[in-house]
Amino acid sequence: MKRFTAAAATLIAGKRGRAMNVAKAPHRLAHSDIRKPNASPESHLADASFCFRGIDNTRGHNPKVDQEQTSTMIDFVTYPVSAEDLAAFQRDGAVCLRNVVPKEDVARLREASIAFMNEGRGRTRDGSTDMNAKGRFFSAAFLGAIDKRFNDFAANSVLPEVAAQLMETDQVRFYYDQLFIKEPGATSPTAWHNDLPYWPLLGEDILSLWVALTPVSRETSGVQYLAGSHRWNTMFRAITPDNDPKFMDYDLEPCPNYSDPEISRDHEVLSWDLQPGDVLAHHPLTAHGAGGNASASAIRIGLSIRYLGRDVRWSPRPFVMKLPIEPQVAPGQFPADDLAFPIVGSGAG
Ligand SMILES: O=C(O)CCC(=O)C(=O)O
């Protein structure tokens, strides 16, 4: 298999007064047997750009637009990801980044999220499996498509630059956003799973950034990750909060409940107490789950924003999520479709 070595260096001028010359690591390629690299990795070499653009779905559909862009410059980094955090992410498949999202953004999104739940907006799921539970487990996806506040956040906040650093990529595309709210007393757990089986994509560079919009602890349903499980190359059977059969592929094994200490005995389960604005990052194959919200008074809100880097291929398959906009690309190709997956940036420039 050929390797793609990205441009030698990307100049990152830190807003915190630090100028960094970051040598770009060789681009990571597919090694797993579950990934089917039909396309040669060079097929998207021409898309060398990292742009500070918003998500603009009103633009005409033009998947070729990237081929004209060659810049590899990231102008500003408002949140430099440390070498330790990057190493932890690559080793464990999950990492906690502290104090990433400014308080004003958190407050605005928290208010918008609660309104989403109360109005039942977006592509919603009710995961409240316990009818006697006092609170709901509410989830909704594709929020940015109908609410500008979510769209702006996904496109223009600090998150795309964090995604660029964690995926070591010079181009970030927005995939979709998803809200997970557990009201006080929402006893329903988030069943253990990994994300790739839900998605019409394959590859290493599909990153989720789970933004805490409230304080979060194990008691209030903090997300738990099985360290290193992203390296098992295992797709577990998808399970939605409401057990939607459309996602359940019985050829795949169910993900064990690693919240059970007996089951996770020989593994390391990672979880963090979070403050609003902290961010959990995870790889698309990392197994994760969460307990219910045992608090009688504290709501738990997480907003998961998914981004794409370079190592990703379009893979429509049975049992995967339907997207609001189908990308105009052939299966196995890099999804260079600016309408379905807009290129995003920090807006810091
Ligand atoms: O917040 C949760 O309970 C689940 C989050 C999750 O599964 C995800 O962000 O992929």
Q: Where are the domains of the chain?
A: 9-314
Q: Which residue, judged by its Cα, is nearest atom 2 of ligand 1?
A: 180
**CA–CA separation, 283 and 97 (whole Å):** 14
Confidence of residue 125 (pLDDT cuts 50, 70, 90): low
Stretch 9-37: mean pLDDT, rounded?
28
Residue 172's pLDDT is what?
97
Stretch 311-323: mean pLDDT, rounded?
96
Residue list, ligand 1 pocket, CB within 6 Å = 180, 190, 195, 208, 210, 223, 288, 290, 302, 304
The yes-or-no verdict on residue 51 having pLDDT over 70 is no
* Ligand 1 atom at minimum distance from 221 CA: 3
The yes-or-no verdict on residue 76 having pLDDT over 70 is no
**CA–CA separation, 187 and 84 (whole Å):** 35
* Ligand 1 atom at minimum distance from 182 CA: 3
**CA–CA separation, 208 and 199 (whole Å):** 12
Stretch 57-75: mean pLDDT, rounded?
37
Residue 244's pLDDT is what?
85
Alpha helices in the chain (DSSP H): 83-92, 103-119, 148-156, 159-167
Residue 19's pLDDT is what?
27
Stretch 107-136: mean pLDDT, rounded?
82
**DSSP per position, 250-270:** TTSPPPP-TTSTTTTTTS-EE
Mutate-to-test residue for ligand 1 from 223, 270, 283, 321, highest number of ligand atoms within 8 A of CB? 223
The yes-or-no verdict on residue 29 having pLDDT over 60 is no
Q: Is 310 in contact with 44 (CB distance < 8 Å)?
A: yes
Confidence of residue 128 (pLDDT cuts 50, 70, 90): low
Q: Which residue, judged by its Cα, is nearest atom 9 of ligand 1?
A: 304
Residue 225's pLDDT is what?
98
Stretch 112-123: mean pLDDT, rounded?
87
- Answer CATH for 9-314 from 2.40.50.100, 2.60.120.620, 2.30.31.20, 1.20.1300.10: 2.60.120.620
Q: Which residue, judged by its Cα, is nearest atom 8 of ligand 1?
A: 304
SS3 198: helix
* Ligand 1 atom at minimum distance from 178 CA: 9
Residue 271's pLDDT is what?
98
Residue 293's pLDDT is what?
95
Per-residue model confidence as pLDDT tens digits over 263-304? 999 999 999 999 999 999 999 999 999 999 999 999 999 999
The yes-or-no verdict on residue 34 having pLDDT over 70 is no
Residue 134's pLDDT is what?
80
Please give the angle made by the CA atoms of 99, 105 and 107, to the nearest 5 degrees.
Answer: 100
Residue 233's pLDDT is what?
95
Per-residue model confidence as pLDDT tens digits over 195-245? 999 999 999 999 999 999 999 999 999 999 999 999 999 999 998 867 888
Displacement of CA 148 from its chain's centroid (Å): 19
The yes-or-no verdict on residue 59 having pLDDT over 80 is no
Q: Which residue, judged by its Cα, is nearest atom 3 of ligand 1?
A: 190
Q: Report how far ligand 1's centroid is from the alpha carbon of 80 (Å).
A: 24
Write the CB contacts of 267 (distance below 8 Å, at least 6 apart in sequence): 226, 227, 228, 229, 258
| Three-state secondary structure string covering 148-163 | HHHHHHHHHCCHHHHH
Average pLDDT of every residue of the chain:
80
